[in-house]
Structure 1
Amino acid sequence: MRATDLPTLDRRWAVVPPVHRFTAMASRISVQLPTSSPDPAGACSEVEEIFSDVERRCSRFDPDSDLSRLNRHPGEWVVVSATCFEAVHEAFLAHRATGGRFDPRVLTSLLAIGYNRSFAFTHKPERTDPVTVDLSATATAASGWAPDFDPDGSAIRLGSHPIDLGGIGKGFALRRARQALVRRRAAESDWFLVEAGGDCVLGGDGPSGAGWSVGVEDPHGGADPSAVLRLSETSCATSSVRHRSWRAGDRPVHHIIDPGTGAPSRGGVLSVTVVDPDPARAEVTSKTLFLAGRSGIAAAAESVGRPAVWVDEAGVVAANSAAATVLTWRPSWP
């Protein structure tokens, strides 16, 4: 997903020059602010520190992170930072709100298919031997997740399964970044953009004053977008297998695990984009809609009431009725 301030689709993808770029959570992050905004350098530094803090506390790839300590002792009380406590609690609330369709206890499955280290979009993990683990044994949907939380002591007891915060961690960081930039702007109409690996928070109506044009990336790898959305003062997130897919031996796999089977989802959907004021909720909703598969996603997308656009394995682009208010360009649909 890419955001521009252009009122119509521009195939050259001219983008407002970013004020600041950095890398966190294996994603390229860009922060864009008007030069007239108060202390743009300080604002960009605060956003970078937010992402650094969430990654430092909540990465399963850092053995010293709070999350790693939790995962090593899932059945015990572990004292964690406020950041990790809030992130895990947010994941629990999302699990409960989705009836278990969002479930961070998929870590065992991710490790079994070779996702045992962080990797950038351009580098894939590799597991040369075929997956011999019975992934159905890692399914979690049959049992509810009920971690224990002690807010006074900032302690958590996960239960019997380690967890991966994955995309919700990025959505959580984007939420905090948005809150920081809203606090800093001089007027409600001031614009800002934070883009993190394709997920975005969009403040105001963009530099043009006509809204942000956001291109939904083609999950088949094409240079042109699958659709373009016009958004203002909101967030959007995409769950896609374009970048996080690889081979485990002779088996194609990806990172979106169905908690009901313990295996990568095979429902015929390649990407789902959701628009929501809250980036963490947008991330969760895009994942659960992806898991609904081609046969169930239309009904599921209507039920969430937020704009959603999806692309299936055949290249068909579809959307729910709520997306009609934000779609500004789309291919010819069947």
Structure 2
Amino acid sequence: MSVCAPPTCTEWQQWSTSMAIAVTDPDRLARARAEVDAELQAVERAASRFRQDSEISALASSAGRPTEVSDVLAVLLEAALAAARLTDGDVDPTIGAALIALGYDRDLADLDYADPRAASMTIPATWSMVEWDGRFVTVPPGVLLDLGATAKAVAADRCAARVHSATGCGVLVSLGGDIATAGPAPLDGWQVLVHDHDDDPAQQVGLPAGGALATSSTVHRRWGRGDAVVHHILDPRTRRPATAVWRTVSVAADSCFAANTISTAAIVRGWRALEWIATLRVPARLIDSDRRVHTIGAWPEAQPGDPR
């Protein structure tokens, strides 16, 4: 997913993915980037399991004991547990040990495709085992939290709100395809390209002011393990990569957190996702393993000459 012809835009690479900011006032772009950088640094210090000095890493050494967390980690934990409740556990933050066992033990850019990591057995765990009172969290011994399924989307929402508050202008923030907006939109909306893969056709869609969009994928964030290729979206019940019924799932919603929660759960649910998303009354575009396009709700139809 990429920003399409924004009023004023800057792009860069971070967290092993492409990031972008677009603003309606060109004079506010530098301030917008500074605000986003500050927010991303705060999120990384709180929730990166690839940093030994992060709060989430420190929780592993205090497992079994109530631990007070920062305001930032409190927001991220609350979101992760809310996503688990909303999806009946299809999005579960207790999969950290399972991801490590699959070899995802450092930033994706640093993974050696041909160098599988030794797997270790992980204890059965679910999100309901995490005790959380809004300030103190207790993680069972042996359980490692991974907030990756929700933290980037929450960060996108927080970045957009923070930039709008600081600058007063309209803003779109894209963190690896997790897109959030705040403030006034351009006259024709925020134009973004939604695509399954870099070499596939893309569809241009417009987001209104305050709109959000998220895409979850089984064709990105992949690495080698032995003779197999695995991806990062796990089925919490099997602790293995979800069956790749869907190549990508894109969802539009009022917040990036909501959109990403639905798109991630859809990957886990496979074909059942079509009926489930329809009950939620949100627009969605799903690309199956045969590259067939499935649209739900008010997702815009491709225009003549516009690739789906």
Q: Same fold (TM over 0.5)?
A: yes
CA contact (8 A) 1:168 1:283 kept: yes
Give the distance between the partners of 1:314 and 1:25, measured in 2 at CA.
29
* Alpha-carbon shift at residue 82 of structure 1 (Å): 1.2
Give the distance between the partners of 1:266 and 1:139, measured in 2 at CA.
20
- Given candidates 12, 15, 18, the residue that maps to 1:28 is 18
| Equivalent residues in 2 for 1:237-276, closer than 5 Å | 237-276=214-253
CA contact (8 A) 1:22 1:48 kept: no
* Alpha-carbon shift at residue 184 of structure 1 (Å): 3.6
Give the distance between the partners of 2:60 and 2:293, measured in 1 at CA.
39
- Cα–Cα, structure 1 residues 205 and 3, in superposed 2: closer, same or farther, change >3 Å? farther
1:180 aligns with 2:165: no
Give the distance between the partners of 1:192 and 1:144, measured in 2 at CA.
34
* Alpha-carbon shift at residue 174 of structure 1 (Å): 1.0
* Alpha-carbon shift at residue 91 of structure 1 (Å): 0.7
Give the TM-score taking structure 2 as reference length.
0.88
Match of 1:3 in 2: 3
Any stretches of 5+ residues in structure 2 without a counterpart? none
* Alpha-carbon shift at residue 113 of structure 1 (Å): 1.4
The answer to which of 177-186 and 163-172 deviates more is 177-186
- Cα–Cα, structure 1 residues 172 and 303, in superposed 2: closer, same or farther, change >3 Å? same
* Alpha-carbon shift at residue 157 of structure 1 (Å): 0.8
1:195 aligns with 2:174: yes
Match of 1:309 in 2: 285
- Cα–Cα, structure 1 residues 204 and 327, in superposed 2: closer, same or farther, change >3 Å? farther
Give the distance between the partners of 1:192 and 1:145, measured in 2 at CA.
36
Deviations 1:45-102 (A, max 9, x none): 1121011110111100001100001123321222221111221122111111211111
Match of 1:145 in 2: 128
CA contact (8 A) 2:213 2:253 kept: yes
| Equivalent residues in 2 for 1:9-20, closer than 5 Å | 16-18=7-9, 20=10
Give the distance between the partners of 1:59 and 1:41, measured in 2 at CA.
26
1:222 aligns with 2:199: yes
- Given candidates 31, 43, 49, the residue that maps to 2:38 is 49
Letter in 1 for 2:25: T
CA contact (8 A) 2:92 2:127 kept: no
Give the distance between the partners of 1:60 and 1:315, measured in 2 at CA.
33
Give the distance between the partners of 1:89 and 1:130, measured in 2 at CA.
31
Figure out how many residues of one structure are paired with residues of the other and give that number.
304
* Alpha-carbon shift at residue 248 of structure 1 (Å): 0.4
- Cα–Cα, structure 1 residues 163 and 144, in superposed 2: closer, same or farther, change >3 Å? closer
**Structure 2 counterpart SS, 1:93:** helix
Deviations 1:167-225 (A, max 9, x none): 31111111111221332454xxx532111112211346644x11122221223x41531
Match of 1:8 in 2: none
CA contact (8 A) 1:28 1:196 kept: yes
CA contact (8 A) 1:24 1:55 kept: no
- Cα–Cα, structure 1 residues 272 and 138, in superposed 2: closer, same or farther, change >3 Å? farther
CA contact (8 A) 2:4 2:192 kept: yes
Match of 2:256 in 1: 279
Give the distance between the partners of 1:213 and 1:182, measured in 2 at CA.
18
* Alpha-carbon shift at residue 129 of structure 1 (Å): 4.9
Give the distance between the partners of 2:116 and 2:7, measured in 1 at CA.
45
CA contact (8 A) 1:267 1:292 kept: no
Give the distance between the partners of 1:35 and 1:17, measured in 2 at CA.
7
CA contact (8 A) 1:106 1:138 kept: no
Give the distance between the partners of 1:30 and 1:169, measured in 2 at CA.
17
Match of 2:52 in 1: 63
* Alpha-carbon shift at residue 133 of structure 1 (Å): 5.6
Any stretches of 5+ residues in structure 1 without a counterpart? 6-14
* Alpha-carbon shift at residue 162 of structure 1 (Å): 1.2
- Cα–Cα, structure 1 residues 147 and 155, in superposed 2: closer, same or farther, change >3 Å? same
Give the distance between the partners of 2:260 and 2:145, measured in 1 at CA.
17
CA contact (8 A) 1:138 1:261 kept: no
- Cα–Cα, structure 1 residues 185 and 46, in superposed 2: closer, same or farther, change >3 Å? closer
**Structure 2 counterpart SS, 1:99:** coil
- Cα–Cα, structure 1 residues 228 and 138, in superposed 2: closer, same or farther, change >3 Å? farther
**Structure 1 counterpart SS, 2:159:** helix
* Alpha-carbon shift at residue 284 of structure 1 (Å): 1.2
